[in-house]
Amino acid sequence: MFDNLHEECGVFGIFESKPSHVAASVYLALYSLQHRGQESCGIAVSDDGVFRHMKGDGLVPDVFTQDALDHLGTGNIAIGHVRYSTTGGKNINNIQPLVIRHIKGNLALAHNGNLVNAYDLRSGFEMSGAIFHGTSDTESIAYAIVSERLHCASTEEAVEKAMYKIKGAYSCVLMTATKLIAFRDPMGFRPLCIGKTDDGAWVVASESCAVETVGATFVRDVKPGEIVVISSDGVSSIETHCGNKGAMCVFEYIYFARPDSVIEGSSVHRARVRAGEFLAEESPVDADIVIGVPDSGIDAAMGFANKSGIPYGIGFIKNKYIGRSFIQPDQHQREDAVKIKLNVIRENIKGKRVIMIDDSIVRGTTCARIVKLLRDAGAAEVHVRISSPPFKHPCYFGTDVDSEDKLIACQYDSIDDIAKAIGADSLAYLSVSATHKLADKASCGFCDGCFTGNYPVEVPKGQQKNKFEEKIHK
């Protein structure tokens, strides 16, 4: 409905020493990760090797009623997933966790990220007789692991060998009858961390906010390329694929992650404040008030105001109850849809020169409508500042940054032209160099391929973004 970016998903896993209501813990964790995926969700539970799972389209509280959680019962291991599709569309068979029963036992897998060689992997498996039920790249990861498991002594060894085959972004949690396994691609595109509760339960999550939600204490991030194995024997690690500096998606700090999360040692909130501070230094402008577009633009607006000395104010009220399922029956209602999501506080805007901070501009349609809201509220001037560089290239690693023909930064010759297109008096983006300084304590490198076209791993040549599903249906 809105011209926003979406991240593919969030994952969570828990290992208890004895059976308990682990599904309830996963439910709470998925609730805190809902911002990472609002299309579908699922939970799988292992009760002494017996797997029970449930998944469906919709938000976490809609899918997991009390009856649903009761149906999942007790167990000592569970994993969960919230999803927004990038590779693989809205197909019930794409909803995770994927539960697989093979000759060596049961396995459930939840994946955050996107493979760049998904089509080649799938084609190879199909030629050897594999049958796929959905269109997501997660099935290819599962097949890679199961095919190696037939010849390996343990699941973690199979994961280690499969990681030589799968290329791209993947932060995964995997459950067997006796183990919870977490593994992260060698570049560390997507976050993954470990926590522990006071009673000895171990948890793995996409973000630290989920760790805290279930009452656990953050222990550490999973290293890029690391395989963490949690069982009744304790916690062990395989670091065969470790050693890269990493290339964390910088948009985790700019937009995707919750502001109360800490990723690679750096506060997400603080990173966004720093983005605003850098914006104020790089692209100052005279104005009367600085406002942020909810939600991720607010922290950057505070940083811009602090650095510039221009007062920060509340410009928008966000409707907290609007969901992704909102239906617009006709074109006119689609045009006005942004008014349902945001309302301007006219008293703070009328007659003022406004600096509007947002995290990104993708296609430009929503930004133009928000600028118009400010104009209609009586703003004397509207200066737009974006806390990221312009998108000029697609993302292949789990973010729905589209092909160049859909990106506004590729449609105009200059930033001034984009400013005119969205109706702003001026427009400025954060520099690429500044994005690499946002996470002041992180030791990892960053992926900025959607800004620069310089990808840390080889991406498909001559293939448009999001054409995986079309290819497999030919």
Task: Report the percent of the chain where pLDDT is more than 70.
Answer: 91
For residue 113, pLDDT over 80 is answered with yes
Cα–Cα nearest to 432, from 465, 395, 387, 467: 387
pLDDT of residue 85: 61
Q: Are 102 and 142 in contact (CB under 8 A)?
A: no
> How many alpha carbons lie under 13 Å from residue 147 in its C-beta half-sphere?
21
**Strand 353-358 to strand 342-344: parallel, antiparallel, or no bridges (unpaired)?**
unpaired
Query: Once rounded to an integer, what is the mean pLDDT over residues 92-107?
Result: 92
Mean pLDDT of the residues in the chain: 90
Domain covering 9-246, topology: Glutamine Phosphoribosylpyrophosphate, subunit 1, domain 1 (3.60.20)
Tens digits of per-residue pLDDT, 344-387?
999 999 999 999 999 999 889 899 999 999 999 999 999 999 99
Cα–Cα nearest to 214, from 198, 228, 227, 230: 198
* Better-scored residue on pLDDT, 43 or 94: 43
Q: Are 306 and 273 in contact (CB under 8 A)?
A: yes
Q: Domain extents for the chain?
A: 9-246, 262-452
Cα–Cα nearest to 304, from 285, 288, 293, 290: 290
Listed in sequence order, the residues at least 6 apart from 289 whose beta carbon sits closer than 8 Å to its beta carbon are 310, 311, 312, 313, 315, 348, 349, 352, 353, 354, 355
Query: Once rounded to an integer, what is the mean pLDDT over residues 442-460?
Result: 91
Q: Which residue has the tokens 């092909």?
A: 403
Angle between helices 268-282 and 296-308 (to 10 degrees): 50
pLDDT of residue 245: 87
Give the distance, in angstroms, between the CA of residue 416 and the centroid of all CA atoms in the same chain. Answer: 31
Q: Pick the catalytic residue: 9, 41, 193, 450?
A: 9
CATH of domain 262-452: 3.40.50.2020
The residues with which 399 forms a beta bridge, in sequence order, are 7
Query: Once rounded to an integer, what is the mean pLDDT over residues 116-132?
Result: 87
Catalytic site residue 9? Answer: yes
How many residues appear in the chain?
Answer: 474
Q: Are 442 and 263 in contact (CB under 8 A)?
A: yes
For residue 157, pLDDT over 80 is answered with yes
Cα–Cα nearest to 20, from 203, 260, 272: 203
pLDDT band of residue 461 (cuts 50, 70, 90) is confident
How far is residue 379's CA from residue 349's CA, in Å, rounded to a whole number? 5
pLDDT of residue 190: 96
Which runs of E-coded beta strand occur in 278-411? 289-292, 316-318, 342-344, 353-358, 381-386
pLDDT of residue 7: 52
